[in-house]
Amino acid sequence: MAQRKSTKRNSSDTQTNMHRNHASIKTTSHQGKRIAKTTLLLVFSIFISACLLSFLGCFDYTTLAGLKQVTTIVKPPVITLHRFPHQCGVVQNQTQSVSENGTNNNKLRSSHSRSSTCPTYFRWIHEDLRPWREIGVTRRILEKARRKAHFRVVILDGKVYAKKYRRATETRDTFTLWGIVQLLRWYPGRLPDLELLFDADDRPTVRSRDYRGEQHPGPPPVFRYCSNDASLDIVFPDWSFWGWAELNIKPWAKSLVAIEEGNKMTQWEDRVPYAYWRGNPKVARTRRELLSCNVSDQEDWNTRLYINDWATESKEGFKNSNLENQCTHRYKIYVEGWAWSVSEKYIMACDSMTLYVRPKYYDFFIRGMMPLQHYWPIRDRGKCRSLKHAVHWGNTHLDQIGEEGSRYIREEVNMEHVYDYMFHLMNEYVKLLRFKPEIPRGAKEITPDSMGCPAKGRWRDFMAESLVMSPSEVSPCDMSLPHSPLELKEVLERKANLTRQVEVWEVNTFAETIGRNGSGYVLKNLQMKHVYCKAMGRRSNETIYMDDSLILSPSNTGACEMPPPFEEDELKTFLENKRGVEKEVEKWGNEYWEEQKKSLQH
């Protein structure tokens, strides 16, 4: 890594002052964090107020009331090795390959040190469970979730039982259950008795507004793969961590190794300097919109976008969809599908900068990520322009966002932490249970053999590959305390501020381009004008951002309506703000160069 960093992008295109407004925000590889920190200093009062409202508006502050500190789990002593069954090939073959090759099994535990603190995203476990903090989960409340659930999981005396209620898409339920069975092998004897209900569909269903007030004492605790700000679903790692057999996506531990190999094949500076996306556009409007940003004869949005037809891929043996062969571009776009997208972690692991289209949903680990530290935020409305700007920025600045994002995925979202997350989530959940878990009628015990023996083909291979071969030698990481209301507010605000800041850069850059070329450019370039109008038209008055020169832009074509001109005060405020921002940016630049000089002297 270190070597790659130092050789990375020394092509000296980086010192140019392409854009006055943020030309001086240059960072080298070790400056990524700093930029995230310093950017906080910036105050964009006009823009931020609007954003914060929209960002925080859907957040239910009432849930913050009545915070309680929860003590960390007391660790029982570590139990060492125990035998695993050998009844069928899945387990047997895997055991053999381990005994022949001792390195095989150690991948999972490589970087885990004793008594480590859990990654910060674990703190959201407390938020997810907060609705039941006071009232607990009674049998009655639990059973309310039954209607939504695909299956029930019961853990009793260290054994797992499952009862299925309805069919889930593909085999995601099977692989989720498989994952829970592996968790018990990873931390044997350490999971408490519990009962939980799991909905394996994509979109959250427990709307927080349906559970306000007296007549709704408790929302149903539904476990699922993602949620959003308006919902109370409890997020849990998705099935793909143990493999997505239908799409030939290998278990995460193995994919991660393959992607790391792929990363080594193409150094950053040799990567294609455009934003790459490959996926299925049919599942969501936002993806279809994204496709309109593909490079064309008229416009180059700095993107290279491709449709992945999974049906064809499947027929042709998935030769175009290998994840490790997709780390060839400097920028990779993440955009949600029907809900969150499983593709997220593979995209982020590529060492390329992730251009993250503003999401509506969250999975369990995205909540620990920060814009400009782990990814570059892209607007959902006006994606094309936003993408073009991001790529331009990336190609003209040194940054560490791509690497920092990949590091986050590799180190904080590896399988050990996935198991730790499940472990802590279940333990915290059990603290809320107000009844004794029981095995329902018709539930079956599930074991590696009961699941692995009947499995065939890739399904079987993936189970064999993700089978936990021996218990963890270290304890789970130390669970973090809940956010205080103030901390939580700060985190959300910081995220919103950083995202908004990028949007301000975009607008500045764009205004400048137009200003420099004058109205002729706009006239000639209808598409640019169209995008601009669209972006402006959708903003509220206070966020209209317009350069003097923009008044020159034509309205005679009638393609779209121009916003009204600035009021005198408005314009004055706007210019003052802009000057303030520019000064601030200049200051960072100076600070940065000072620091560079100092670090060179050492």
Ligand X SMILES: *[C@@H]1O[C@H](CO)[C@@H](O)[C@H](O)[C@H]1NC(C)=O
Q: Which helix (H) or strand (E) holds 279?
A: strand 272-279
- Give φ, ψ of 385 to 5 degrees: -65, -40
The site string for ligand X over 91-110 (x = CB under 6 A, - otherwise) reads --x------xx-x-------
Greatest CA separation found in the chain? 81
Minimum gap (Å) between residue 516 Cβ and ligand X? 6
- In the list 1, 43, 58, 559, the residue contacting ligand X (rule: CB under 6 A) is 43
DSSP states of 526-558: HHHHHHHHHHHHTS-GGG----GGGGGS--TT-
Q: What is the total residue count of the chain?
A: 602
Minimum gap (Å) between residue 36 Cβ and ligand X? 11
Task: Please list every residue from 114 through 173 that binds ligand X, using CB under 6 A.
Answer: none
Minimum gap (Å) between residue 239 Cβ and ligand X? 21
Minimum gap (Å) between residue 247 Cβ and ligand X? 19
Residue nearest to ligand X (CB): 89
Are 160 and 193 a contacting pair, CB within 8 Å?
no
Q: Burial of 534 by CB count in 10 Å (0-12 exposed, 13-18 middle, 19+ buried)?
A: middle
Check residue 568 for interaction with ligand X (CB under 6 A).
no
Check residue 201 for interaction with ligand X (CB under 6 A).
no
Check residue 431 for interaction with ligand X (CB under 6 A).
no
Check residue 521 for interaction with ligand X (CB under 6 A).
yes
Nearer to ligand X, 257 or 551 (CB): 257
- In the list 23, 40, 56, 247, the residue contacting ligand X (rule: CB under 6 A) is 40
The percent helix, strand, coil of the chain (3-state, each to 5) is 50, 10, 40
Nearer to ligand X, 40 or 230 (CB): 40
Question: Exposure pattern of 304-328 as b/e (b: 16+ CB <10 Å)?
Answer: bbeebeeeebeeeebeebbbbebbb
Region binding ligand X by CB under 6 A among candidate stretches 38-46, 68-76, 234-242, 259-267? 38-46
Given the structure tokens 């909905």, which residue do they identify?
199
Given the structure tokens 């291979």, which residue do they identify?
461
Task: Please list every residue from 290 through 319 that binds ligand X, using CB under 6 A.
Answer: 291, 294-295, 304-307
Are 364 and 342 a contacting pair, CB within 8 Å?
no
Task: Please list every residue from 528 through 547 that binds ligand X, using CB under 6 A.
Answer: 540-542
Minimum gap (Å) between residue 522 Cβ and ligand X? 9
Nearer to ligand X, 246 or 493 (CB): 493
Question: Exposure pattern of 195-216 as b/e (b: 16+ CB <10 Å)?
Answer: bbbbbbbbbbbbebeebeeeee
Check residue 23 for interaction with ligand X (CB under 6 A).
no
Given the structure tokens 């940016």, which residue do they identify?
585
Minimum gap (Å) between residue 15 Cβ and ligand X? 18
What are 213's two structure tokens? Answer: 């007030």
For binding to ligand X (CB under 6 A), which residues are involved? Answer: 40, 43, 45, 48, 89-90, 93, 100-101, 103, 291, 294-295, 304-307, 490, 493-494, 497, 513, 516-517, 521, 524, 540-542
